[in-house]
Structure 1
């Protein structure tokens, strides 16, 4: 069997991500949440109501993927759509509900005592840097096409 120290970077990253995600998702599932739903709640709690397209862009997902999640989250009472403003305001503006805020607080508690809290600050900085480098590389490759 191959030693993990000899694995290629993509295999190391995907294995680590899968293990962390499984650990946290198992705990969140008891609340009817997933990592994706918690991330949506965090963005809305931090940045306020926004159009679906903007929310999808910030989450780095397609509008279709987000729409599927929002249907479930609306049924759970975690989010809701705000009515359009009287002066022709934006439609499909999504906001977190009070129930969503309470559930986000519970999810934060789970993550603070869970596996993800054990990531060393220097490793966290390296991962953020890697994500930014990959996005810049992807943007540069797209521009050259």
Structure 2
């Protein structure tokens, strides 16, 4: 269940806005246990994985994001993380106890897209992440 102070409704609007970017395939908010709180694929996208495999992917992402926080004191907080695969680019944006997960087309410019997403997340990202 979401924190009362966490702006789920605002994040829902931001996710819809992020999904308007033509290179975005999926955008969703995932909690610390790996549950998809809200999110979806762009209308014309056929997912590469079935529901069970996507759930596993969300859980693994939540675990990885949680593990990275152990280095925050010395290296600073993670602004975003990305991996370029053959068929998709995967990105994560930690926001408090949550993470925004984005998948995009493999040809995307990762840094340019990351800053677009951070801009679209506006104050939610900076407020909960300390940008």
Q: TM-score, normalised by structure 1?
A: 0.29
Structure of greater relative contact order (alpha carbons < 8 Å, 6+ residues apart)? 2
- Bigger Rg, structure 1 or 2: 1
- 1 or 2, which has the higher helix percentage? 1
Q: TM-score, normalised by structure 2?
A: 0.31
